[in-house]
Structure 1
Amino acid sequence: MSLELIHSPLLNRYKSIVHFTTTINGGVSSGNYATLNLGLYSGDLPENVMENRFRLAATLGLPLENLFFPYQTHEDKVCVIDEAFINLPKEQQSELLNGVDALITNIPSVCIGVTTADCVPILLFDPSTNVVAAVHAGWRGTIADIAAKTLNKMIRIFGCCLDSMLVYIGPAISEEYFEVGDEVVLAFENAGYDLSQIQRVNTETNKSHLNLKKANQIRLEQLGILSSNIDMSDICTYKSSDMLFSARRQSVNSGRNITGISISNNLL
C-alpha cells in the first residue's frame, strides 16, 4: 500500500531519515476531505481518518501507534517524544499532545508530524546528532516564534548544532493568496519582522499579502542556520487543488495534509 508523497530534495540526501508531505490522494474520505484527509479534528468521520492514517503508517513501514501528531492550537508549545513519553499510556500521551504545535524526537522508527491546510510545516534535522523535529507555523505561531523555540529546545536538550542543522519549509499558502488584514500586518511589525521582506500590497485591492514561508526562513537564518541548509518548497496549498488541501480555498471544514519525519531504524 503506497501513497503519493512530496519530498524535499535537500533531506532526500540523507538515508538516516524518512520524511514526507502527504497529498490528497490515496485515502477513503469524501467531499471536502477527499481522499487522504489525515486530520482528526477537521470534521471528517474518525473511522475514515484512522483508515487514512493506517495507510500512511503502512507506506512508512511503521505500526500505527508509532505515528505521533499533536492537537495543534496555533501557539508555541513544544513536546519531546522520548522514551519516557513512549512508555506512557495512550491516554496520557494524548493529554501531553493537546495544545502542542511542535514535536522533537531522537528515537528511531517513530514518526512525528504536523497537520496543515495552508499553514507552514517545518521539518528540522541535525545529522550530527540524529535529532528531528516537526513544526506547525501558522501566522500566529510564526509571530510566537515557534520554529525558533523548537530549534533552541533541540540545542538545549540534545546538543544539536546550528552549523549542521537542515530545514525543510514545506508546502503552504503562498504570498499571492495569503491576503491579511491590517491587524495581522501590525502583529508581524510588532514582533520585529521587516515588512519590506515579507509584505506585498495589492495595488488593485489595497490589501496586504504576507509571505509566511519567507518569514520563517528569515527568522531561522537570523538564528544562525545556513541559507544553503534551508530548502523552501515553492508549492502553494491554495493553488494546488489537485494535490493539497487548503482551508482558505475549501473552508475550515477541509482535509489536512501531514508533513512528517522519522529517524530510520537502519542508520546509514
Structure 2
Amino acid sequence: MSEIFYPFNNDNKEIFIATSSKGLGIKASDITEDYRKKLEIEFFNKINLDIKKAIFMHQVHKDNIAKIDESNKDIYNKENPVKETDALITNLKNVPLIIQTADCLPVILYCKETKSMAAIHCSWRGIVQKIIPKTIESMKKEYNIDTRTTYAYIGAHIFEKDYEVGEEVAIHFRAKRIINGKWHVDNSMEAVLQMIDCGFMEENIEVSNLNSYNEIFYSYRRDGKQVGRILTVGMIL
C-alpha cells in the first residue's frame, strides 16, 4: 500500500500540497504503465482530487516556464501535458499542478499576498540553468510576489549522501562535499541558497526529510530507467 506525505509547515488551508509514493513490497522495475496509472488514480482518489483536472508537464530538464490561466487551464491534462516545460505558475484556485520526479527536486512556491503559486521540476541541470530564480522572476513579473513572505516547499528528493556526481557537475555547486573520494552534491541545499539569493527568508523554506533513494519511493539513481514517478501536487484553495 502506498503512503501519502504532506509538508509539516503547511496546514493545507491556503495551498494544498501532497506527495505520492511507490509503497513497499514492489520493485520499481516491476511497475508497468498500467500499474502506474492505477497507483496515480488511487493517489488522487485518496486526496479527493480529480486527476482529469490536474495539469501535468512534459519535463525536459530545462528552464522553460509556462503560465496557467483561464485561457489554457482546460487544455492541459495527463494525456496532454504542457510541452517541454519544467515549471508552471498560476494564480487560479482549484487547479492542481503536478511535478513528476524520481530523484529530482519537486519545488512548490506560494505567495499568500498575491495568492499565486509555482510548481517546479528541478534536476541538477535545472540548478545549473537556474530554473528556480527564473521562475521567481516570472512570478514577480506576473503577480508582483514578495519573496520575503513567500513560502517554499522542496518535496521528496535524493539526499546528498546518495548523489554521487562527476567533477564536471560538482563544479557548478556550492553545496557539495567529497565522500569516499567522490563528489556528492546537495540539490536541495543549492536550491535553498538560490532562493535566499532571490530574497527568500530561510525560515519560510521547508525542505522535506524524505529521501527518494529509500525503497518507498521511485529513484532513478537506485533503480535506473523506469516508468514510475513520485507525484507532488500543489493547488491553491
TM-score (norm 2): 0.91
Q: Could you tell me how far 1:31 is from its partner in structure 2?
A: 4.3
Per-residue CA deviations over 1:87-134 (Å, capped at 9, x if unaligned) read 44769x936x12111111222211102111111111101111111111
Q: Counterpart in 1 of 2:57?
A: 70
Q: Could you tell me how far 1:53 is from its partner in structure 2?
A: 2.8
Comparing both structures, which one devotes a greater share of its residues to helix?
Answer: 1
Q: Is the 8 A contact 1:32 1:250 kept in 2?
A: yes
**Change beyond 3 A, Cα 1:255–1:120:** same
Q: Counterpart in 2 of 1:38?
A: none
> Aligned letter for 1:199?
K
**Change beyond 3 A, Cα 1:100–1:129:** same
Q: Could you tell me how far 1:48 is from its partner in structure 2?
A: 3.2
Q: Counterpart in 1 of 2:99?
A: 114
Q: Tell me how far apart the structure 2 counterparts of residues 154 and 11 of structure 1 sit (CA, whole Å).
A: 20
**Change beyond 3 A, Cα 1:71–1:90:** closer
Q: Tell me how far apart the structure 2 counterparts of residues 168 and 180 of structure 1 sit (CA, whole Å).
A: 24
SS at match of 1:114: strand
Deviates more, 1:63-72 or 1:135-144: 63-72
SS at match of 2:72: helix
Runs of 4+ in 1 over 4 A off after TM superposition: none
**Change beyond 3 A, Cα 1:64–1:219:** same
Q: Tell me how far apart the structure 2 counterparts of residues 141 and 179 of structure 1 sit (CA, whole Å).
A: 17
> Aligned letter for 1:66?
K
User: Superposition pairs for residues 17-28 of structure 1, below 5 Å?
Assistant: 17-25=15-23
Q: Could you tell me how far 1:254 is from its partner in structure 2?
A: 4.9
Q: Counterpart in 2 of 1:39?
A: none
Q: Tell me how far apart the structure 2 counterparts of residues 33 and 105 of structure 1 sit (CA, whole Å).
A: 35
Q: Could you tell me how far 1:34 is from its partner in structure 2?
A: 6.3
Q: Tell me how far apart the structure 1 counterparts of residues 97 and 41 of structure 2 sit (CA, whole Å).
A: 15
Give the fraction of aligned pairs with identical amino acids, expressed as a percent: 26
Q: Tell me how far apart the structure 2 counterparts of residues 8 and 169 of structure 1 sit (CA, whole Å).
A: 9
Q: Tell me how far apart the structure 2 counterparts of residues 113 and 179 of structure 1 sit (CA, whole Å).
A: 27
**Change beyond 3 A, Cα 1:87–1:173:** closer
Per-residue CA deviations over 1:21-49 (Å, capped at 9, x if unaligned) read 111139xxx642667xxxxxxxx32x433
Q: Is the 8 A contact 1:247 1:254 kept in 2?
A: no
**Change beyond 3 A, Cα 1:60–1:252:** same
Kindly indicate whether residue 230 of structure 2 is the aligned counterpart of residue 253 of structure 1.
Answer: no
**Change beyond 3 A, Cα 1:152–1:89:** closer
Q: Counterpart in 1 of 2:158?
A: 173
Q: Return the index of the structure with the highest Cα Rg.
A: 1
Residue from 199, 202, 211 that aligns with 2:176? 199
Q: Can you give the 5+ residue segments of structure 2 that lack an aligned partner in the other structure?
A: none
Per-residue CA deviations over 1:137-184 (Å, capped at 9, x if unaligned) read 110011111111111111111122112200011111111010001111
SS at match of 2:39: helix
Kindly indicate whether residue 80 of structure 2 is the aligned counterpart of residue 94 of structure 1.
Answer: yes
Task: State the aligned residue count.
Answer: 237
Q: Is the 8 A contact 1:246 1:254 kept in 2?
A: no
SS at match of 2:147: coil
Q: Could you tell me how far 1:3 is from its partner in structure 2?
A: 6.1
Q: Counterpart in 2 of 1:138?
A: 123
Kindly indicate whether residue 202 of structure 2 is the aligned counterpart of residue 227 of structure 1.
Answer: yes
Q: Is the 8 A contact 1:62 1:109 kept in 2?
A: no
